[in-house]
Amino acid sequence: MELLLDLSHLLRDSSNGTNTTELTYGFVSCAVSVLFYGSNFVPVKKIDTGDGMFFQWVLCAAIWTVSLIVNIILSSPRFWPLAMLGGAIWATGNITVVPIIKTIGLGLGLLIWASFNLLMGWASSRFGWFGIEAEKVSKPTLNYCGAGLCLLSAIVFFFVKSDGQRPATSEETPLLIDSSVNADSQTSSDNSWVDMLPPFTKRLVGSVLAVVAGLLYGSSFIPVLYIKNHTTQQNSQYDGASQFDLDYVFAHFSGIFLTSTVYFVIYCAFKKNKPQVFPKAILPGVVSGVMWGVATCCWFLANHYLKPVVSFPIITTVPGLIAALWGVVVFKEVKGLRNYLVLILAFCMIVAGALLTAFSIVSPAPGIDSRGAFRVAGVCIGLMCIVQATLNIVLRLFFTSPWAVELLPTICNNHTLYIYTARLQSRYETLVKEKDQLDASYSSLRNMRDQIQTEKEKLQNKLSNIAEEFKNPEWISFRSSLYYMSAEEKDWIQSRDDCRNRGADLVIIKSREEQDFIEMLRRGNSTWIGLSDQTTEGKWKWVDGTALTTVFWLSREPNNLNGNEDCVVTGYNPDDDRPVIMCVCVRALGMFFQWVLCAAIWTVSLIVNIILSSPRFWPLAMLGGAIWATGNITVVPIIKMIGLGLGLLIWASFNLLMGWASSRFGWFGIEAEKVSKPTLNYCGAGLCLLSAIVFFFVKSDGQRPATSEETPLLIDSSVNADSQTSSDNSWVDMLPPFTKRLVGSVLAVVAGLLYGSSFIPVLYIKNHTTQQNSQYDGASQFDLDYVFAHFSGIFLTSTVYFVIYCAFKKNKPQVFPKAILPGVVSGVMWGVATCCWFLANHYLKPVVSFPIITTVPGLIAALWGVVVFKEVKGLRNYLVLILAFCMIVAGALLTAFSM
């Protein structure tokens, strides 16, 4: 922490140093910025981003992560909501890029918006537009000339021809890049309103949108400059605002991610919850976002040390040169003498423009000769003129000399031959690739042959085992198969696992004779069969992958009750009051779903933060969110090992115990909460704990809804997904039964303890505000003031775990597009609920709120199951619910009266 404070002081104090120190920091910041801006789209050069909306959302999440780290390093300066407007302006300009590329192409579009970005950013700062102060320079003429040269260099880049897609060439190059690169997933070519426009209208609309995008990009720093310029005005609402530009990065980037999230949700709704999602773009998007975030932070520093009137011409043009160098040196997509001469010309113009803008703010000390600076700029301009003159002379001689006229037909023929040779070379390379693919296919087929041989040996061994099974009385033979009828009640997944462990599978009924045999074998009992629609809702398939043809459904079936019925049972009697085994076909949405949901949770906290006038951000409060998110990632293995019912019972119980006990007895350095009637409090907490156990005995006709706040964000994925299923073997599936149950129970205990500990950091800060020399001196006593930091910790930790997961899956994560909108809605509801819990902690104390809030939601969920979804039926279930209701009400009243 001391190292971070020293770095923060170093960055801030440098602005109080000498003019040379400020220039050094400023130009170093410019150098880092242009390097990262010119390279930030290299990771996604060969990755399909589709229509760009999902990619830009992933990238903006990574950008926000960078700003959060910067915010912690700077000791969490005040959050000014107006600075978010700059991020919103940038993100709004960014969504126009896809139609721009479709209407006028990336080259012309980039030229237009980059030029207007430069003009708007430089002019608004130079002349003081939109209520900000005009920046003064010691040599205005140099500044005008430098900005003009930088603008011309952007135009020169338009004449560079590329053999492939050119990398992004400026900071403003959109996060939505052109998607003509090779893709492993679906293509992004789809008809839109743009494709229906006539050519002239299309070009006009694209040009106007490019101008608008450039103006928006160039305006993104104006809100920050406005706040800085109005700190000294009398009765200003920005009184006391920082003059250090980097202090506004967190708010600016939060505006980017919030606006990006809003546009992405609107896009998902417009696509009817079927957005284009490209899993392989996630990790490259994160890397690009981190690079973009670092570059923009350096731009903020450059604005502070050099002024925007100097930084804008440099940072909006030099990245084009960096990107061009990538194209020349690495990707070999810029070739030919003509292109090299154009790049040299652009390079000279950029260097000259950058030097002129830089020297325009330098005020030499008395007695110091500053003519050397002008000499360097003059040399660059002279070199630029020499290159231009050389081009003119070469072209003049070529087209006017007699020998050139005679050689022109030969040159044309040579050019034609060159083109033909290039095509042959391309065809040769294609054939070489095809040969390599055939070699790979040959190797694959040879491996397949070996696998088939191995499989043959296994089948022979299995045949021998089957011959032995004929002698086993538990197995009954019918025609060419053996049948086993289990005597235990299990769900569909467990039943299938049991069959597989016995070397078999759930029954596939292919004939009337076989069905009659099954009816005789089950003897009136309900029995699972090997039929489900887990992969695609409504498309019923047997476990061997074949489709269902002849059907004899019960009346009103299949109805996919509550969206959770994916498996088939035979012999079900709807009039039977006895509980039916639940159909729990687990297909865990897991990491992707919880990441989407945590993004929605963070959005709620940002809105709360703005409503509360942006209280101070305490990084320690993030630890609570990190603890909660860490407990949350254990849920999928818990469900796989011991099931949702037992897992939920264990972690909900330990959550209640940890949260209540740590507050009641003052664990982990927080003050013990005192109540006027301790006995009532103990009894109330005990009754609430027992009610959680009672809920375990409620049997459901469908999957039971989540029964407490601690129910994980990684819920069962009963939503229909268009992508692949997630049924894959993991380390959990290789554990023996006893070890699996033991590990699952331990993980559930750990999850509950972590959930219950998530409020401790906030309570610690509150309890240490009055201590002498405390670093938390002046911290708020209002719990809701810590929601933004707490939820930021949740989203940051969730993002880190999701990135690790993507890397572990070798950039092939499982994503479920149709889970995005439901995840956003669930996240908003969870966020609102937790904000209310913070309020309850403030007004009632955690020793009272914890027993109530960790148990009453179970009753609410049960009522949903009874009244709406009709999944809880039978007298026995109703009596259990009434008992739980009485225990919850009694426990809540006792804890309330204990105060």
CATH code (residue 541) = 3.10.100.10
Regarding whether 236 and 95 lie in a shared domain, the answer is yes
> Across 234-238, 380-384, 827-831, which has the greatest mean pLDDT?
827-831
| Number of CB atoms found within 10 A of residue 447's CB | 10
The pLDDT assigned to 605 comes to: 93
Q: Which residues pair with 308 in a beta bridge?
A: none
Query: Where are any strands of DSSP class E within 185-273?
Result: none
Question: How many domains, the chain?
Answer: 3
Mean pLDDT of 67-75: 92
| Main-chain phi, psi angles of 182, to 5 degrees | -70, 140
**Burial class of residue 776, CB neighbours in 10 A (0-12, 13-18, 19+):** middle
User: Taking a C-beta distance cutoff of 8 angstroms, is the pair 334, 163 a contact?
Assistant: yes
Across 366-370, 617-621, 665-669, least confident range: 366-370
Give dist(CA 316, CA 304) in Å, integer. 16
Give dist(CA 601, CA 616) in Å, integer. 19
The pLDDT assigned to 702 comes to: 39
Q: What is the pLDDT of residues 566-619, one digit of tens each?
A: 566 565 554 444 433 333 233 345 688 889 989 999 999 999 999 998 999 999
Regarding whether 132 and 68 lie in a shared domain, the answer is yes
Regarding whether 481 and 340 lie in a shared domain, the answer is no
Across 183-197, 482-496, 723-737, 769-783, least confident range: 183-197
Regarding whether 643 and 524 lie in a shared domain, the answer is no
Please choose, from the candidates 95, 89, 32, the residue with its C-alpha nearest in 3D space to the C-alpha of residue 59. Answer: 95
Mean pLDDT of 343-360: 72
Question: Residue 692: is its pLDDT beyond 50?
Answer: yes
Q: Is residue 154, in this structure, part of any structural domain at all?
A: yes
The residue type of 458 is K
The pLDDT assigned to 447 comes to: 86
Q: Is residue 442, in this structure, part of any structural domain at all?
A: no
The pLDDT assigned to 588 comes to: 42
Classify the C-alpha dihedral 508-509-513-518 as positive or negative. Answer: positive
User: Taking a C-beta distance cutoff of 8 angstroms, is the pair 68, 256 a contact?
Assistant: no
Q: What is the pLDDT of residues 389-400, one digit of tens each?
A: 666 666 666 666
Please choose, from the candidates 101, 173, 104, the residue with its C-alpha nearest in 3D space to the C-alpha of residue 324. Answer: 173
Question: Residue 159: is its pLDDT beyond 90?
Answer: no
Regarding whether 628 and 538 lie in a shared domain, the answer is no
Q: Which of 400, 419, 435 is the last residue of a domain?
A: 400
User: Taking a C-beta distance cutoff of 8 angstroms, is the pair 871, 699 a contact?
Assistant: no
Q: Is residue 598, in this structure, part of any structural domain at all?
A: no
Please choose, from the candidates 850, 659, 674, 833, the residue with its C-alpha nearest in 3D space to the C-alpha of residue 760. Answer: 659
Question: Residue 879: is its pLDDT beyond 60?
Answer: yes
The residue type of 356 is L
Regarding whether 639 and 701 lie in a shared domain, the answer is yes
Dihedral, CA atoms, 231, 234, 235, 236, nearest 10 degrees?
A: -30
Regarding whether 624 and 492 lie in a shared domain, the answer is no
What single-letter DSSP state applies at residue 482?
Answer: E
Q: Higher pLDDT residue, 9 or 518?
A: 518
Give dist(CA 898, CA 629) in Å, integer. 32
The pLDDT assigned to 364 comes to: 54
Question: Residue 278: is its pLDDT beyond 60?
Answer: yes
The pLDDT assigned to 183 comes to: 30
> Across 147-156, 227-236, 287-296, 677-686, which has the greatest mean pLDDT?
287-296
The pLDDT assigned to 173 comes to: 39
Across 425-434, 462-471, 794-803, 852-861, least confident range: 462-471
**Beta strands 481-484 and 527-532, pairing class:** unpaired
Question: Residue 546: is its pLDDT beyond 50?
Answer: yes
Mean pLDDT of 247-263: 94
Q: What is the pLDDT of residues 608-619, one digit of tens each?
A: 999 998 999 999
Q: Which of 545, 570, 595 is the last residue of a domain?
A: 570
Please choose, from the candidates 200, 190, 115, 99, the residue with its C-alpha nearest in 3D space to the C-alpha of residue 155. Answer: 115
- DSSP string covering 4-55, please? HHHHHHHHHHGGGS-HHHHHHHHHHHHHHHHHHHHHTTGGGTTS--TTSHHH
Q: What is the pLDDT of residues 748-790, one digit of tens each?
A: 889 889 998 999 999 999 888 877 777 888 889 999 999 999 9
**Burial class of residue 513, CB neighbours in 10 A (0-12, 13-18, 19+):** exposed
pLDDT band with cut points at 50, 70 and 90 for residue 895: confident
Q: What is the pLDDT of residues 708-744, one digit of tens each?
A: 333 333 333 322 223 333 344 556 667 787 888 888 8
Give dist(CA 305, CA 14) in Å, integer. 9
Distances (CA, A) of 19 to 16, 31, 361: 9, 18, 10
Regarding whether 662 and 515 lie in a shared domain, the answer is no
pLDDT band with cut points at 50, 70 and 90 for residue 175: very low
Q: Report angle CA 504, 509, 512 to the nearest 5 degrees.
A: 140
Question: Residue 554: is its pLDDT beyond 90?
Answer: no
The pLDDT assigned to 723 comes to: 33
Question: Residue 654: is its pLDDT beyond 60?
Answer: yes
**Beta strands 475-478 and 481-484, pairing class:** antiparallel
Regarding whether 637 and 547 lie in a shared domain, the answer is no
Q: Higher pLDDT residue, 69 or 528?
A: 69
Q: Which residues pair with 484 in a beta bridge?
A: 475
Q: Higher pLDDT residue, 655 or 798?
A: 798
The pLDDT assigned to 803 comes to: 92
pLDDT band with cut points at 50, 70 and 90 for residue 620: very high
Q: Is residue 595, in this structure, part of any structural domain at all?
A: no
Q: Is residue 276, in this structure, part of any structural domain at all?
A: yes
Give dist(CA 517, CA 511) in Å, integer. 10
The pLDDT assigned to 634 comes to: 83
- DSSP string covering 732-788, please? GGGS-HHHHHHHHHHHHHHHHHHHHTTTHHHHHHHHTSSSTT-TTTT--S-GGGGHH
Across 68-82, 249-263, 481-495, least confident range: 481-495
The pLDDT assigned to 176 comes to: 38
Give dist(CA 104, CA 205) in Å, integer. 9
Q: How many helices (H) and strands (E) does the chain have?
A: 28, 5
Please choose, from the candidates 694, 646, 653, the residue with its C-alpha nearest in 3D space to the C-alpha of residue 882. Answer: 694
Sequence-distant (6+) residues with CB within 8 A of 62 are 285, 286, 287, 288, 289, 290, 292, 293, 799
Sequence-distant (6+) residues with CB within 8 A of 515 are 509
User: Taking a C-beta distance cutoff of 8 angstroms, is the pair 750, 612 a contact?
Assistant: no
User: Taking a C-beta distance cutoff of 8 angstroms, is the pair 177, 56 a contact?
Assistant: no
The pLDDT assigned to 104 comes to: 73
The pLDDT assigned to 63 comes to: 94
The CA-based diameter of the chain, rounded to the nearest angstrom, is 111
Regarding whether 499 and 366 lie in a shared domain, the answer is no
Give dist(CA 317, CA 34) in Å, integer. 8
Mean pLDDT of 185-206: 66
Q: Which of 553, 570, 587 is the last residue of a domain?
A: 570
Give dist(CA 99, CA 245) in Å, integer. 33
The pLDDT assigned to 297 comes to: 94
**Residue 100's domain spans which residues?**
2-183+192-400
Mean pLDDT of 483-501: 76
**Burial class of residue 622, CB neighbours in 10 A (0-12, 13-18, 19+):** buried
Q: Is residue 434, in this structure, part of any structural domain at all?
A: no
User: Taking a C-beta distance cutoff of 8 angstroms, is the pair 780, 618 a contact?
Assistant: no
Question: Residue 246: is its pLDDT beyond 50?
Answer: yes
Sequence-distant (6+) residues with CB within 8 A of 674 are none
The pLDDT assigned to 552 comes to: 52
pLDDT band with cut points at 50, 70 and 90 for residue 639: confident
Question: Residue 128: is its pLDDT beyond 80?
Answer: yes
The residue type of 363 is S
Regarding whether 617 and 554 lie in a shared domain, the answer is no
Sequence-distant (6+) residues with CB within 8 A of 282 are 58, 806, 811, 813, 815
Locate tokens 């060439």: which residue?
A: 169
Q: Higher pLDDT residue, 461 or 827?
A: 827
Question: Residue 797: is its pLDDT beyond 80?
Answer: yes
Tokens read off for 10:
């170093």
The pLDDT assigned to 374 comes to: 58
Regarding whether 612 and 554 lie in a shared domain, the answer is no
The residue type of 714 is L
Tokens read off for 838:
């913070």
pLDDT band with cut points at 50, 70 and 90 for residue 444: confident
pLDDT band with cut points at 50, 70 and 90 for residue 491: confident
Q: Is residue 416, in this structure, part of any structural domain at all?
A: no
Tokens read off for 123:
């002019």
What single-letter DSSP state applies at residue 726?
Answer: -
Sequence-distant (6+) residues with CB within 8 A of 729 are none
Give dist(CA 224, CA 220) in Å, integer. 8
- In percent, the amount of the chain with pLDDT more than 90 equals 16
Give dist(CA 174, CA 154) in Å, integer. 16
Q: Is residue 77, in this structure, part of any structural domain at all?
A: yes
Q: Report angle CA 685, 686, 687 to the nearest 5 degrees.
A: 95
What's the mean per-residue pLDDT of the chain?
75
| Number of CB atoms found within 10 A of residue 491's CB | 18
